[in-house]
A and B are shown apart, each in its own frame.
Chain A
Amino acid sequence: MIDTSPELGDEERDALLGAFGAPAPRDFAERVVDAWSPEHDARVSLRGPRGRTSVVRPGVAALAALAAAALLAWWVGGVVTKGLETRAQQARLVEAPGDPPAELSRLRTRAHTLLAEHCSPCHDAEDARARGEALAVFDTRSPQWWLTMSEQQLEVMLSRAADEETMTPAEVDGVARYVAAELAFRRSGV
């Protein structure tokens, strides 16, 4: 007899499990472990870890692709920063001497709020769980947190934001708009 109480009864639940509960493929765990590596922090490719199927949101992927294309053009154009020994040096040079446009300032503020919310504790120097390599990329506690990021790192940040399951599409869009504006500003030579 089927239980008619609000919650499902055992019989109904068994039927549900019978419909969807078939076992995973035999070698599935091995394939996942192969795709995952301890060097995951070295994920600098927009495609994510090796062997995995990317499910980055289409809009964000398009923005990231545009940003990548623009970066490529920038390199091909010979505006390559050479001979820089530290990321900080590079950051000081790529930061244009003029004031950033008001829109970029607004986008930076918005992006900072999102990053502080979603990228802590790794990128939070005041958190004991912060990670050195993450702080080297950016530290949300730094007043000019964006300065330590190269253009490629900005793109990787966007890619990671798109992969971040706790971010809503609107929040990812906020990061994408910031990255696009930051890249445009750096390339403008203002």
Chain B
Amino acid sequence: MTPRTFQARANDAADRYDVPAVVLERARRGDREACRTLVQTFEGVVFAQLRGMLMPVGQGAAVEDLAQETFLRAFAALHRFEGPPRGLRPWLATIATRLALNELRRRRPRMEVLRDDLPTGRGDPRRVVGKGVQAAIAELPDTFRAAFLLRELHGLEYSEISEVLQCDLGTVKSRLSRARARLRDALLESGGES
């Protein structure tokens, strides 16, 4: 099977996370239903980014707190969001990433075990793969992990990632390369175990 291009995947994701402009406008005005729609549309995006970012220090309550904070900050700044609705996904992922990086700087000394509540059963091969991926991502430095998740989970362009992380394009590329190599190693090992 021929792998889809990055752009094709990005387009698929953009369609999936597109919300009507009227919903965005109503949310800007504080409409409760519109805000709920935005949260329900993008909560998976925000949770995935925060789970990935917070792997080394915590899950559960910490992720939920920061996810809520992400949306509250987004709502507070929604009047400044000028792009089309499909731009909300990378924007929210960016806010979540910055919050997570701040949180990691504050909480670095505390380490927790990897979460053990993956959605599949104990004997499921995907669970084994998932834990391997988690471990590989968790070992990455925070900024490497941020670059990797922003690119691979949320489809941000290299230039956008360089803005979020305040580093140059070459640094973004090298971080992504290293993160991908880690992930592939983990997947190969997990495949061998299962």
- Quick one: given A10-B3, A40-B75, A165-B95, are A29 and B180 in contact (CB under 8 Å)? no
State the CA gap A165–B101 with chains docked (Å). Answer: 12
Residues of B within 8 A of A55 (CB): 65-66, 69, 99, 102-103
Pairwise interchain contact B188-A2, C-beta atoms closer than 8 A: yes
Q: Is the interface of A mostly helix, strand, loop or mixed?
A: loop
The main secondary structure of chain B at its interface with chain A is helix
Check if A22 sits within 8 Å of B35, measured CB to CB.
no
Verify A8–B47 contact, CB threshold 8 A. Answer: no
Q: How many A-B residue pairs have CB under 8 A?
A: 139
Chain B neighbourhood of A151, CB < 8 A: none
* Residues of B with C-beta under 8 A to A10: 1, 3-4, 9
Which residues from A are CB-within-8-Å of B4? 10
Q: Which residues of B contact A189 (CB under 8 A)?
A: none
Q: Which residues of B64-82 have CB atoms within 8 Å of chain A's CB atoms?
A: 64-69, 71-73, 75-77, 79-80
Chain A residues near B110 (CB-CB < 8 A): none
Chain B, Cβ-Cβ closest to A36? B75
Residues of A within 8 A of B9 (CB): 10, 13
Min CB distance, B100 to chain A, in Å? 10
Cβ 8 A contact of B180, one of A8, A18, A28: A8
Interface size range of chain A in the complex: 35 or more
In the complex, how many angstroms separate the beta carbon of B147 from the nearest chain A beta carbon?
13
Quote the shortest CB–CB distance from A38 to chain B (angstroms).
3
Interface centre among A3, A5, A20, A40 (most CB of B within 10 A): A20
Known: A18-B126, A19-B134. A165 touches B67 (CB 8 A): no
Q: Are B180 and A25 in contact (CB under 8 A)?
A: no
The answer to whether residues A28 and B67 also contact, given A22-B118, A52-B72, A165-B95 and a CB cut-off of 8 A, is yes
Chain A residues with CB under 8 Å of B73's CB are 163, 165
Least CB separation from A40: chain B residue: B76
When chains A and B are docked, how far (Å) is the Cα of A29 from the Cα of B142? 27
- The answer for the CA separation of A18 and B132 in the assembled complex, in Å, is 11
Check B180 against A36 for contact (C-beta < 8 Å): no
Contacting B at CB under 8 A, from A79-128, are 121-122
- The verdict on A2 contacting B103 (CB below 8 Å), with A22-B117, A49-B72 known, is no
Among B39, B152, B183, the residue within 8 A (CB) of A32 is B39
In contact, A2 and B152 (Cβ under 8 angstroms): no
Q: Which residues of B contact A166 (CB under 8 A)?
A: 77
The reply to whether B67 and A24 form a contact with Cβ atoms under 8 Å apart is yes
The answer to whether B68 and A35 have CB atoms under 8 Å apart is: yes
Of all chain A residues, the one with the shortest Cβ separation from B134 is A19
Q: Is B108 an interface residue (CB 8 A)?
A: no
Are A2 and B184 within 8 A (Cβ)?
Answer: yes
A32 touches B48 (CB 8 A): no
- B68 A52 Cβ-Cβ under 8 A: yes
Residues in A neighbouring B16, C-beta threshold 8 A: none
Assuming the A-B contacts A33-B36, A36-B35, are A7 and B43 also in contact, with contact meaning beta carbons closer than 8 angstroms in the complex? Answer: no
In the complex, given contacts A18-B118, A33-B32, what are 13 additional A-B residue pairs having Cβ atoms less than 8 angstroms apart? Answer: A2-B184, A2-B187, A2-B191, A3-B3, A4-B184, A8-B183, A20-B52, A22-B51, A22-B119, A29-B36, A33-B35, A53-B69, A163-B76
Q: What are 18 of the A-B contact pairs (CB < 8 Å)?
A: A2-B184, A2-B188, A8-B180, A18-B126, A18-B129, A19-B133, A21-B48, A22-B117, A23-B44, A24-B47, A28-B43, A31-B68, A32-B68, A33-B39, A49-B72, A52-B72, A55-B103, A122-B79
Residues of A within 8 A of B (CB): 2-10, 12-13, 15-25, 28-33, 35-38, 40, 48-49, 52-53, 55, 57-58, 121-122, 129, 163-166, 168
